[in-house]
Structure 1
Amino acid sequence: MDWERYLAPAAMALSAMPVFLIAGLVRGGRLHLVNGLDASRVRDPERLARRLGALLAAVGFSVLLGAAGLAWAGSDEARVTGVVIGLLLAVNGLAVALILTVARARRVDDQGQRPGSRSTRR
């Protein structure tokens, strides 16, 4: 059997495992793993943690599917190109979704109110 054919897909599949670990930690409430996000400064940290954990898990599954796609493509350059382009679109699209989710997270100030609300303006 030609084991060298499966070396790159296996390495790619192994590289998805840390993403699943981080997704589980973030879903468990460790939001600081995402760009140093402070859970005490977010209005609904549990909801944000679930959303970010799901998006990170989707990145891990995309990488796993990409590894399976590379194993399927073998040495066919057209198939490999298709798998790589699909993986590129999926992972970058999920990265944009992660960035937008963090940017849209409702922040609160030290008194537990949203910044910019009427009660915090003077």
Structure 2
Amino acid sequence: MTVHDYLVPIAMAVSAVPILVSAVLVARGNLHLINSLDASRLPNPARTAAKLARLLAATGVAMLLGGAGFYWAGDNEGRIALVVVALLLAVNGLAVALILAISAARRSYRDRPGGNEGARRR
């Protein structure tokens, strides 16, 4: 195998690292990293952080597995197509789940007395 055979798997593995780092940061309670979620306004910020961190980690793992899949596929075009389709379904499905979870978290914001929720609706 040449260096070119390792290039795509390595690129997939390296591109998964920022997502995995984000998952760790969100799991530690840094919800502001996710679309500027305000943890102080959530009814259960720890549960929300855990859910979003799991979805981010699953996306990172899917990308790592995609890199392993590309290594396994080698030069076989049929295997490459299989890995591409599996990766598209997994990552995009997890992205939709993440968007829905963020949307649900935003809908669950508590109304705080003295807040400016009405200012955003105008």
Which range, TM-score by smaller chain? 0.7 to 0.9
- Runs of 4+ with deviation above 6 angstroms: none
Q: Deviations over 1:13-71 (max 9, x none)?
A: 01101111000000100001111111111111000000000100000000000000000
Amino acid at match of 1:82: L
Tell me the secondary structure at the aligned position of residue 98 of structure 2: helix
Q: How many residues align?
A: 112
Distance between the aligned counterparts of 2:44 and 2:102, measured in 1?
12
Bigger fraction of residues in helix: 2
TM-score, with structure 2 as normaliser: 0.88
Residue 11 of structure 2 corresponds to 11
Matches within 5 A, 1:1-122: 1-105=1-105, 106-111=108-113
* Structure 1, unaligned runs of 5 or more: 116-122
Computed over aligned residues only, the root mean square deviation of the Cα atoms, in angstroms, reads 1.2
TM-score, with structure 1 as normaliser: 0.88
Distance between the aligned counterparts of 1:64 and 1:95, measured in 2?
16
User: Which has the higher relative contact order, 1 or 2, with Cα contacts under 8 A spaced 6 or more apart?
Assistant: 2
User: Percent of pairs identical after alignment?
Assistant: 54
* Structure 2, unaligned runs of 5 or more: 118-122
